[in-house]
Amino acid sequence: MKSLFMTSERMLSSTDSDTEPDTGNLRETIFLSWLKVGNNVTSSPVSDFEIDNMTFEVGGKHKGEKQIEGLSDAYIVKDDVEYKYRNEIPLWHFGFLY
């Protein structure tokens, strides 16, 4: 399934004022808007994004490693967590790159 991302996470809430934006799409849009500055971000055939031969899967704090299992240089970007653990990186860390 292909995803369509807005240029800013703020645009997601302005598209339909009666409903909240999809949390997964919101996370991925935020990640993309932060990382596209200074990086060539592409879609990944097995996960959400690829940047410089690294694979990133974006999800919530309970996101598992199933989609990146067996891949080298693959990371889970988790929302609602505070600390890095193994190949899991908190989403908010990427905000420092913006």
**With contact defined as beta carbons under 8 Å apart, do 79 and 27 qualify?**
yes
- The tens digit of pLDDT for each residue in 7-29 reads 555 555 555 566 677 788 889 98
Report, in this order, helix, strand and coil percent for the chain, each rounded to 5. Answer: 30, 20, 50
Q: How far apart are CA 76 and CA 88, in angstroms?
A: 5
In what helix (H) or strand (E) does residue 23 lie, and over which residues does it extend? helix 23-35
Give the per-residue pLDDT at 88: 95
- The tens digit of pLDDT for each residue in 55-88 reads 999 999 999 999 899 999 999 999 999 999 899 9
Mean pLDDT of 29-49: 90
